[in-house]
Structure 1
Amino acid sequence: MKAFWNGHTIAESDATRVVEGNHYFPPAAVRREFLKPSATKTTCPWKGEASYFNLEVAGETNPDAAWIYPTPKDAAAQIADHVAFWKGVEVTE
């Protein structure tokens, strides 16, 4: 799987974990130089608290386009520190 935005590959892995239709990329598969911390946080009743990142690629910013569960609840332990994308980020095979 590849995550692609603004002309660049943001993440690439053949070992994503799919939860609720979202591909979660392992930490080592993500180009962290494109992720800038955001103050946004949300809470899922069964996964826990998500932290968001803005994507900054080639002079463009996509606010809150990536998220992680740094310390998920037990039911979502398999996605700890994995990164998922939305807001126009293409995730394809």
Structure 2
Amino acid sequence: MMRAVWNGVVIAEAPRTKRVEGNDYFPPESLKQEYFTESPSRSLCPWKGIARYYTLTINGEINPNAAWYYPHPTPLARRIKNHVAFWNGVVVEGTREPKPTRRG
């Protein structure tokens, strides 16, 4: 199980993430939404597209723009659409579970 932790609180948890450029991207349904607030910040990656950000708030502490995602990624990055990656003190830990194998 993979976890994203900030200030001792698990803010996202998933059996698998999608790894791109050394970052683990968590599926949107794995986020503990109560800690996330949309940020007005944006940035541009030449091959992934425009990133949007979330600010984290836990126990009154704020971590601005600590998470990012691509709501409309370029075709090359479509596999991470709406998946969320972290930085700025957020620790990603755990072991990715293997993908289920297809039978038949």
Map Cα deviations across residues 9-64 of structure 1 (whole Å, 9 max, x no partner): 00011120000000000011111111111111000000000000110011100010
Say whether 1:90 aligns with 2:91: yes
- In the other structure, the counterpart of 1:27 is 28
- In the other structure, the counterpart of 2:76 is 75
- In the other structure, the counterpart of 2:37 is 36
TM-score (norm 1): 0.97
* Over 4 Å off, 4+ runs: none
- In the other structure, the counterpart of 1:57 is 58
Report the number of matched residues.
93
CA shift at 1:6, angstroms?
1.1
Separation in 2, partners of 1:6, 1:82? 22
Structure 1: stretches of 5+ with no match in the other structure: none
Q: Percent identity?
A: 51
Structure 2: stretches of 5+ with no match in the other structure: 95-104
Structure index of larger Rg: 2
CA RMSD between the two structures = 0.6
